[in-house]
Each structure stands twice: as C-alpha cells, then as structure tokens.
Amino acid sequence: MLKLRKNPLIVLGILLSATWLSGPSAAETAEKDLKIAIFAGGCFWCVESDFDTVPGVVRTTSGYTGGFTPNPTYKQVTSKNTGHYEAVRIHYDPKRISYKLLVDILWRSVDPTDDGGQFCDRGDSYKTAIFATSAEQKRIAQETKQEIEKSGVLKKPIVTAIVDAGPFFPAEDYHQNFYKKSPVRYKFYRYRCGRDARVEALWGKEAHRGITKH
C-alpha cells in the first residue's frame, strides 16, 4: 500500500488555518473587553485593598502617574518633586460594573475635600485625583462631582483633580497586594492612619459604599 509522506509545510498551514478560524480564546476575548479606571486616593495599599472587594473589578495595580519623571521609584515619589501621585490602575468588566459606580465608590472611600494629602499621609503624592482615560470618563467624573456638591453631604468643596490619564508606572513588587502579603502591618497602618474613621465621619451612612471591608 502506498504511503503518502506528510509535508510539514502543509501541516503547519493547516494548523495555522485552524487557529485563525477558531479565533481568540474566551480568556483573550474577556481580557480585550476589560476597561481601565485610574484613581489616586492616598496610600495605594488602601485603594487597592478597597477596590479588590468590588464585584466587577478583575484586578488592580498600584503605581505612579500624573507626573513627569519616567519609571519613578517609591522613594523618589514620596521624597522628591516628580509630580506623580500614588495611584491604582483598575481593570474592570463593564458588563458587571459601570465606570460611574466605580467613581461613586471612590468618592465615598476618600476625603475629597483634603488638598494636602489623605489622612495621616501628607504631601502632593498622596492627594486624590481621577485620571480619565477618555472624554466620557472625564464627563462622568465631573458629573458625579457636581452631584455630590449639590447634595450638600460634604461641608467643604471637593478639591480632587479630574484630569486626562497619562503614562502609568507600576510600583515595586513589594507594594502589590501589600494587604495580603503583610496583613497585620497593613491593618495596623490603616487603623493608625485614621482612614476609616475619617471616611465614616465625613460620609456617614454613605461611607465605603460598595466596598467590603477586610
């Protein structure tokens, strides 16, 4: 019986065709459909910890943005004039949570009336800010700000900057998921810094809306 030899180029072509016809995997499609929000709310350990509990948030990354120094270090950001904020990049599923709800959660987990930092952390790198990745995000952020100011729930004006997003630089590995890596140290820091107490005094029943406390 005559045996046909397999041409490796033909086999490769068949495999490539099959891959092309099958399209991207479900995981690849899901990743492509994710959206990004970037918020500064004081210590990025706390912002990351808060948003990791929000349904629809897929992952968070602590980092630096808003400044002019490329690839800054934590030491540079906290001690020198880099212009950067401590911030968190949030990948979220827009089918499960809207950008507006994410912004609403941010407002009620920080003190947006403080123009000198957040809680016990002082300095420009700890100020609050919303870094919009699109014109729609900026519009939503500004509208929610106006809604809060009209409601009168806050006794002072909101000073949180709402600006266009620029380059985002992930922080050092030891900062990522710090609340999981060093839970005792993290909880002590958060308590000593007075973050939750101040947010609850400021927002009352609306404090930490949408967030599950660790």
pLDDT digits (tens, 9 = 90+) for 159-202: 999 999 999 999 999 999 999 999 999 999 999 999 999 999 99
Banded pLDDT at 212 (limits 50, 70, 90): confident
CA distance between the termini of the chain: 71
Range 151-157 average pLDDT = 95
pLDDT per residue as tens digits for the range 91-105: 999 999 999 999 999
The residue range of the domain holding 108 is 26-206
Residue 136 C-alpha from the chain's centroid:
17
Q: Residue 4 above 50 pLDDT?
A: no
Tell me: pLDDT of 38 over 60: yes
In a domain, 214, yes or no: no
| Cα–chain center distance at 59 | 8
Q: 28 pLDDT exceeds 70?
A: no
Which class for 124: exposed (0-12), middle (13-18), buried (19 or more C-beta within 10 A)?
Answer: middle
Residue 115, both tokens: 């123009």
Question: What value does the CA radius of gyration of the chain take, rounded to a whole number of Å?
Answer: 22
Q: In terms of Cα–Cα distance, which of 35, 11, 14 is closest to 102?
A: 35
- Residue 141 counted as domain residue: yes
Q: Does residue 4 lie in a domain region?
A: no
Average pLDDT, the chain: 90
As a whole number of angstroms, the distance between CA 28 and CA 165 comes to 25
What does the block give as tokens for 139? 């519009």
Classify 123 as helix, strand or coil.
Answer: coil
Question: How many structural domains are present in the chain?
Answer: 1
Neighbouring residues of 195: CB distance < 8 A, sequence distance ≥ 6: 42, 43, 46, 118, 119
Whether residue 16 lies inside any domain: the answer is: no
Q: What is the pLDDT of residue 153?
A: 95
Q: How confident is the model at residue 15 (pLDDT cuts 50, 70, 90)?
A: very low
Residue 19 counted as domain residue: no
185 lies in some domain:
yes
Mean pLDDT of 128-150: 98
How far from 59 is each of 35, 51, 56, 151, CA to CA, in Å? Answer: 11, 9, 9, 32
How many whole angstroms separate alpha carbon 50 and alpha carbon 210?
9
Residue 10 lies in a domain: no
Q: How far apart are CA 64 and CA 43, in angstroms?
A: 11
Grade residue 12 by pLDDT with cuts at 50, 70 and 90.
very low
43 in active site: yes
pLDDT over 50 (residue 114): yes
Predicted TM-score of the model (pTM): 0.86
In 18-160 the beta strands, taken as DSSP E runs, fall at 35-41, 57-65, 85-92, 117-118, 121-122, 128-132
Among the listed residues 43, 46, 120, 193, the single catalytic one is 43
> Is 13 inside a domain boundary?
no
3-state SS, residue 59 = strand
Give mean pLDDT, residues 55-67: 98
* Among 110, 125, 134, 112, CA closest to 194: 110
Rounded mean pLDDT, 48-59: 98
Strands annotated E in 95-144: 117-118, 121-122, 128-132
pLDDT of residue 23: 60
Mean pLDDT (whole number) for 17-42? 75
